[in-house]
Structure 1
């Protein structure tokens, strides 16, 4: 668990402990931005946002780790993205956050949309980054997206059997995620940092099982296309031109489906990778600050 991570208890899934990081004591006079991290990462994904004095000075920043990620644990051993969305809302309750904007990277984007669907009176706006609102569909692949089934299935199969207490996540898994999320231009120090974070998060049989369920969720999730017209809050979708997982064409298709939103806009980030909040924090932070300032 990252030294910057705290936990808060919520009732969902038989009782859960949600990993989080906040940038300051909650200031009710400021808007709050909840940030939801990408597949198998932790709140550490949002270190650039916490370090941005303009963004962190204008809003309360609160990063929440979904089920299967970081320090988040539950009594029940299985979970979905809907569970993470509901647990995030309960974490907001426990931390005294009544309303918030939600920024989500990759899978965090569809968790953000689920939060807006579950609690439209509490979510003031969503900022999906490098995401898709589809399931891993043939249509998404026709729009130039990756084959998520092909990417995930070998890991789902490899993680099926119980392991001993000395098991740790293979470095090959970590490197594959980092490569898909950030391309090949990753520094040795950055790679070493994340390898260590993953080793701390996914150890023993419990770690193996959480990692497998995370991977099953990514591969087998339900799409949101039939629900997006019920999102009422403003939506700003940021997408990088160098995203090799979900295409710009897929983002263009997705943003058009927010027909009931107060405002829905797609902003293209030149050179942006899939984990856009990490690859292009300056563009993301500036856009988030402008969005929150406009709609708070």
Structure 2
């Protein structure tokens, strides 16, 4: 498998190397769409977007891997989602891009929202996919969402001690993430693909530590609900009815909090899974084309 993800250096967190990938050579005449991937995946999650000619016609697709994911590593050993939002902006600086739209799957949904909060003059609109703006709260579970503490805590505990250089992420961790994100839509080929990606990204003691911090960030993140009214850019939240992690009811509660947005809409995809950009790219890509065309 050929990995076309490149890296760029930014100053945040003591100096960081950030993994990024363009869908095709950068065209300054087009708007740019940042793509932030879901929990412990990589820029490879957006292969269906990179393969969509209609989407490539309307925007530069720029996948940026959050801290602890793919090729993105800081000098400092701790990081949060807010740091990944800052990294988005510093990657734009490094690449000479002034403004962008931003789309994120699951955790990528709140990273792009945080990015817009930090720099409202630079983010022209956001497309959160299969996400939540809440922490792992009782309200979230009451609205039909998963118990993220129950999912993450065993891995956090199991990854607490140092491991030898030949350690690789356990297959059951990867399969658990794929099952939660893609349900029964995961083919044998895709399962083998992602097992290979995870084994390369999470190996040795440094890989163990990154995986643990990513799991802590997912479980212990802060709620964004009280901050959402500060956003003024347009928002298109896309959510699948078969999402096993976050519910449509929770998405309805979340989108209603964007009271300062010039336009905040929820699009529901029938049968859509949690990793919506991968499970239902046709619907997601078409909606992104319309959104960017409208607000560019």
TM-score normalised according to structure 1 size: 0.99
C-alpha displacement of 1:269: 0.3
Question: What residue number does 1:12 align with?
Answer: 12
For residues 23 and 215 of structure 1, the distance between their equivalents in structure 2, rounded to whole angstroms, comes to 28
Could you list the per-position Cα deviations for residues 94-117 of structure 1 after superposition, in whole angstroms to 9, with x for gaps in the alignment?
A: 011110000000000000000000
Deviation at 1:25, TM superposition (A): 2.5
- Cα distance in 2 between the residues matched to 1:185 and 1:123: 33
Task: Name the CA distance, whole Å, in 2 between partners of 1:26 and 1:195.
Answer: 30
- Partner in structure 2 of residue 201 of structure 1: 201
Within 5 Å, give how 1:216-231 maps onto structure 2: 216-231=216-231
SS across alignment from 1:237 = strand
Residues in 2 aligned to 1:209 and 1:107: alpha-carbon distance in whole angstroms: 19
Measured in 2, the distance between the counterparts of 1:97 and 1:147 equals: 38
In 2: Cα distance, 1:184 partner to 1:158 partner: 26
How much has 1:185 moved relative to structure 2? 3.0
Secondary structure of 2:20's counterpart equals strand
Distance 2:95 2:282 in 1: 28
Aligned to 2:215: 215
Alignment of 1:122-271 (within 5 A): 122-271=122-271
Q: Secondary structure at the match of 1:184?
A: helix
Identify the residue that residue 89 of structure 1 maps to in structure 2.
89
Tell me, yes or no, if the aligned pair for 1:2 and 1:44 is still in contact at 8 Å. Answer: no
Within 5 Å, which residues of 2 pair with 1:39-118?
Answer: 39-118=39-118
Kept after mapping to 1: 8 A contact 2:104/2:110:
yes
Q: Is contact 2:185–2:279 with CA below 8 Å preserved after alignment?
A: no
Q: What SS does the aligned partner of 2:63 have?
A: strand
1:142-163 per-residue CA deviation (whole Å, 9 max, x = no partner) reads 0000000000000000000000
Q: 1:190 to 1:139 in 2, by over 3 A?
A: same
Shift, 1:2, TM fit: 5.8
Runs of 4 or more off by more than 6 Å in structure 1?
A: none
Unmatched runs of 5 consecutive residues or more in structure 2: none
* CA distance in 2 between partners of 1:38 and 1:183 (Å): 15
Q: Cα 1:2–1:88, aligned 2, differ >3 Å: closer, same or farther? A: farther
1:172 and 1:266 map into 2 onto residues whose CA distance is 33
1:273-292 correspondence runs (5 A): 273-292=273-292
Q: Distance in 2 between matches of 1:190 and 1:227?
A: 37
Distance 1:122 1:53 in 2: 26
Deviations 1:161-214 (Å, cap 9, x if unpaired)?
A: 000100000000000000000002311111000000000000000000000000
CA distance in 2, matches of 1:2, 1:136: 36
